[in-house]
Amino acid sequence: MFALPERVDMPVRLRGNRCRACGQPFFPARHYCAACTSGDMEDTEFADAGKIETFTVVRQQPPGGAIAPPYAIVRVKLDNGPTVQTVATNCDPEKLKIGDRVQLIAHRVLEDESGATVVSFMAQPAKQG
């Protein structure tokens, strides 16, 4: 999904691919292009930052979910990359706005049965300037 950084809360660049025939980017990577059906795909890493297209605040825990509500789901258009959906972290979900810049980071999701920390990518507000 991404190269594990030295520690959590550091920026991460998502690994996906791009169709050589039509240019469409995908995350996660696909074997065949969803837009034009070409199988000529090129692995790539996407920008670690983008803009919030839309968001919502989830206030009831869904089945199988490990994150306690309330938490925000953000749909982020990565710079020159695909749109991805993830959880917003290190912020007050009530203060998010459409159009806000965000940074993708590695963040703890849970600890599994063996005590290992499971991390995934999340979005946090981009630093000003």
Partner 1 sequence: MREVVVLGAGLHRFGRFPDKSLQDLGREAIKNALDDSGVPFKDIEVAYVGRVLAGMGAGLSVVSEMGQTGIPVINIEMACGSSTSAFREAYLSVANGVYDTALVVGFEKMQRGMLQISEQASYQTVMGLAVMPAAYALQAQRYMADHEATPEMFAQVSVKSHRNGALNPYAQYQKDVTLDEVMASRMIADPITLLQCSPTTDGAAAVVICAKEKAAQYSAARSMTVAGWATGSGKFESHDDGEGDAETNTGEVTRLANQAYARAGIGPEDVDVTQVHDAFSPGEVFTIEGLGLVKAGAGARAVWEGRTEITGDIPVNTDGGLLSRGHPIGATGAAMVTEIFRQLTGEAGPRQVKGGDAKVGLIHNAGIGGVNILVFKR
Taking contact as CB under 8 A, which single stretch among the options 5-13, 40-48, 77-85 is the one that binds partner 1? 77-85
One residue of 2, 12, 18, 26 binding partner 1 per CB under 8 A: 26
The residue written with tokens 């290992």 in the block is 116
Binding of residue 44 to partner 1 (CB under 8 A): no
Asked if 16 and 1 touch (Cβ cutoff 8 Å), the reply is no
Cβ atoms within 10 Å of 16's Cβ, excluding its own: 22
Pairwise CA distance, residues 14 & 43, whole Å: 11
**Chain residues in the site for partner 1 (CB under 8 A):** 1, 24, 26-28, 30, 34-35, 53-67, 69, 71, 73, 75, 82-87, 98, 109-110, 118, 120
